[in-house]
Amino acid sequence: MMRKPVSRRMVLRWLIAVLVISILAGCGSNTGMTEDKRVHVGVMLSDVGLGDQSYSDAAFAGLVSARDELGIVFDYRELEQVGTFDQGFEELVQDSDMVIGLGFQVKDSLETIAKKHPDFPFVIVDETSELPNVTSITFKEEEGSYLVGLIAGLKTRSDKVGFLGGVDAPLIHKFQAGFEQGLKAVNPDAELVVEYAGTFGDAELGAEIAGRMFREDDVDIVYTAAGFTGVGALQEAEKQHKLAIGVDTDQFFVAEKAVVTSMMKNVDVAIRTAVETFLTNNGQFPEKQIVFGLKDNAIGVAPIRVVPFGPEDQQQYDEFAEKLEAGSTVITLP
């Protein structure tokens, strides 16, 4: 066939074209493996760890919310798992962009590690630190405590109200002060029985202390600011057919026949807000200390249950609450 050389040339040209295009296309195909870098938050939980019905669970819930809504990721360490707080913080610093510590228990360890990593941002909840790379989140617990104090003052029949503190520390003193001033504001005759358990993780001790208060001091309402220790107290109140006020979260479900309300310290809301601030400021905190109060919705009061709370009660409550919110009532801290 006479055109054979022509068709061979055509085929050759065609093959070259295909080859060139394949190589060009191949060059372009390996690009675009960009991994969207999520902000990684590490949290060192309290000594009790996850399931403490307190700080740890609240911080966990706040971070889950931030994870699901703000697009961060987080990891947590428990003391049981790492042995020491130092070890936990050290591990978290390696994997994270920001590390959160919960409570005064971890303060020393956190500061030790923060000194080792002076450019690494740390956050400590419910404590303050002098270190420049440690931002503190604190709450106006006295405001919430004042409000539940109002309720306790209105609902006590024996005019004897108990306060169970976890550890005898300045933070818990704020609870006590707020509660006491609220109680006295609405019910000047009421008497406050105060006792500190010395631990946040002993529910049985809490129950024992609460039981003693009910039996010996004629207390009919007890306010627990004692973490897991307080849970025992709440359950003891139910057993004794007394009333109780929970703390940190709505603890109605712990003892549904006893918990009138709870002083809500929404650590989850605060942590979520802090993470948001961190994100919007490109991995920095504009303030050294962030204080959360009623206004920020980080402090509040759970719905009133178990006991009737009539319009009269409500009216008196609102009267004092408005004054507090308006700033005309100032709580004196120790």
Q: Which residues bind another protein (CB under 8 A)?
A: 1-3, 6-7, 10, 13-14, 17-18, 21-22, 25-26, 28-30, 32-33, 35, 38, 50-53, 56-57, 60, 63-64, 67, 73-76, 203, 228, 231, 253
Among candidate residues 102, 99, 150, the one with its CA nearest the CA of residue 125: 102
User: How many residues are given for the chain?
Assistant: 334
Task: Name the token pair of 291.
Answer: 């204080």
Smallest separation, CB 245 to another protein (Å): 18
Nearer residue to another protein within complex by CB, 140 or 265: 265
Estimate the crossing angle of helix 85-95 against helix 107-116, to 10 degrees: 40
Nearer residue to another protein within complex by CB, 231 or 331: 231
Nearer residue to another protein within complex by CB, 50 or 279: 50
Smallest separation, CB 4 to another protein (Å): 11
Nearer residue to another protein within complex by CB, 29 or 315: 29
Smallest separation, CB 19 to another protein (Å): 10
Q: Quickly list DSSP for 12-25.
A: HHHHHHHHHHHHHH
Q: Please identify which residue in the block is written with the tokens 């004897």.
A: 160
Task: Name the token pair of 105.
Answer: 């228990």
Nearer residue to another protein within complex by CB, 151 or 210: 210
Smallest separation, CB 77 to another protein (Å): 11
Task: Name the token pair of 112.
Answer: 């030790």
Smallest separation, CB 76 to another protein (Å): 7
Nearer residue to another protein within complex by CB, 182 or 246: 246
Q: Please identify which residue in the block is written with the tokens 């590490």.
A: 42
Nearer residue to another protein within complex by CB, 85 or 146: 85
Torsion of CA 224, 151, 298, 294, to 10 degrees: -140
Smallest separation, CB 209 to another protein (Å): 17
- In single-letter form, the type of residue at position 263 comes to M
Strands 299-301 and 40-44 come out as: unpaired
Task: Give the three-state DSSP class for 306.
Answer: coil
Among candidate residues 212, 258, 248, the one with its CA nearest the CA of residue 228: 248
Smallest separation, CB 79 to another protein (Å): 14
Give bridge partners of residue 102 from the DSSP assignment. Answer: 125
Smallest separation, CB 10 to another protein (Å): 6
Burial 275-286 (b: 16+ CB within 10 A, else e): beebbeeeeebe
Query: Can you give the C-alpha Rg of the chain in angstroms?
Result: 28
Q: Which helix (H) or strand (E) holds 5?
A: helix 4-29
- Eight-class DSSP state of 31: -
Nearer residue to another protein within complex by CB, 56 or 273: 56
Q: How far apart are the first and last CA of the chain?
A: 109
Smallest separation, CB 125 to another protein (Å): 17
Nearer residue to another protein within complex by CB, 19 or 330: 19
